[in-house]
Structure 1
Amino acid sequence: MPSPPSLPAAAAAVLVATDWTALRPAAGFETCPECPDWVYPDLPAVLPDLVHPDVATRERALSDAVGGAFHDLAPTRATAAVTMFFAALLPDPRTAQMVRPFDPTRSLRCELLIWTGEFLADAIWSPPGGPPGVRAVGDRFHGVRPQLFAAVAEHLDDPDPRTRDNALSCALLLAGDRDLAAHRDPLVPRARRFLADGRDTDPNADMDYELRSRALETLRTWGHDTTGLGRADEIPGTPW
């Protein structure tokens, strides 16, 4: 079996600086009654394996990392830290490799951006009065949003269209923060091109629908006219 991989300096810094023990689930939540074989992963050991040279190890690491950050359809205490690690790993050329756990045609970089978008949507913009645990995760994101924006913005012109689209989706979510409002204007024409492109082959695909809905709702929230940009299957004014 190949030895554990080296990490980019920024990713290694997240791994070392995070108190992963403090982010483990509360007692009784480290297993899942519906999934008897599932056990909460050892994230400091799992995360470096995202760029492991062994394909099976890399794919298992992605599944475990997502499970540790988003368990039972809800953010966990580790969501913000895992997302920061994902963002720090994005520039690594090894993330251009394909991974199979979710979609064998997507690169690891694309998957990291997809899950970063999911974590941001669920943890930061939970509705007022939402579950205290979800609000607490959103609070942990607050101070790192500028770093996250800088990381995802590096991939707005990625040569892979799906990676590019998910980087845009993450950037739009982050630019909703007042402190990042200065980044909104350059994102608007990108969002309009994405919505007008019609590149998708299946208009009912969940991923495409979610990305388009986020972009539409963001433009509307920022006061832009989206007439003609939506499709019949997208309900105006309905957030993701």
Structure 2
Amino acid sequence: MRAFLDLRPAIYSAVQPLLEHDNADIREAALVTALPLPEHPALAPHRDELVAPARRLLKSSIDRYKRDRVLEALTVWGHDISGLETADDMAVREREPGESPSYGREAAPKTRPSDSGPP
């Protein structure tokens, strides 16, 4: 896993030019791919260049997965997302009261005591 994490700068270098691609689907895929990469210390300064494309995506996309990834990244980076959320975004966040606004981050499945044994 460490080797993969250390590849984040190389992955970002490959994805970065696609953030300005003519095709909106490619731009959005590049953005969603790039969002978690600046967690690497060497890439932290690149967060600022991802904010404008992230905000543009929120203005134009209704894709739940993409919106969740963008809202999560902006939140983690300390940006105020209150003016960027739609009613659907807020409903997703409110479905899990008491949890951080992870916007769809896959959590470990919750098990009930009855789920722990064979049927």
Per-residue deviation at 1:175?
A: 1.3
Is 2:93 aligned against 1:238? no
Distance 2:7 2:28 in 1: 22
CA RMSD of aligned residues (A): 1.5
Shift of 1:162: 0.8
Is it true that 1:216 corresponds to 2:80 in the alignment?
no
Match of 2:60 in 1: 197
Listed as ranges, the matches of 1:165-176 within 5 Å are 165-176=28-39
**Structure 2 unmatched ranges of 5 or more:** 94-100, 106-119
The aligned counterpart of 1:33 is none
Q: Give 2:24's aligned residue.
A: 161
Deviation at 1:177, TM superposition (A): 2.3
Query: How does 1:71-86 map onto structure 2 within 5 Å?
Result: none
**Following superposition, which runs of at least 4 residues in structure 1 exceed 4 angstroms of deviation?**
none
What amino acid maps onto 1:188 in structure 2?
A: V
CA distance in 2, matches of 1:140, 1:181: 19
After superposition, give the CA deviation of every residue in 1:79-131 in whole Å (9 maximum; x if it has no partner): xxxxxxxxxxxxxxxxxxxxxxxxxxxxxxxxxxxxxxxxxxxxxxxxxxxxx
Determine the structure 2 residue equivalent to 1:149.
12
Using structure 1 for the length normalisation, give the TM-score: 0.37
Note the C-alpha offset of 1:139: 1.9
TM-score by length of 2: 0.72
Equivalent residue letter for 2:44? A
Equivalent residue of 1:183, what SS? helix
**How many pairs were matched up?**
95
Shift of residue 197, structure 1, vs aligned partner: 2.1
Instruction: For 1:169 and 1:221, locate their aligned partners in 2 and report how far apart those are by CA, in whole Å.
Output: 14
1:178 & 1:216 partners in 2: Cα distance? 21
Aligned-residue sequence identity (percent) comes to 39
Say which one has the larger Rg. 1
* Structure 1 range deviating more: 174-183 or 219-228: 174-183
Distance 2:70 2:37 in 1: 12
* Partner of residue 228, structure 1: 83
Residue 158 of structure 1, CA deviation: 1.0
Greater fraction of residues in strand: 1
User: Matches of 1:238 and 1:144 in 2, distance apart?
Assistant: 24
> What CA distance in whole angstroms lies between the structure 2 residues aligned with 1:148 and 1:189?
20
Query: Whose helix fraction is larger, Structure 1's or Structure 2's?
Result: 2
Q: Which amino acid aligns with 2:60?
A: D
| Cα shift at 1:210 | 0.9
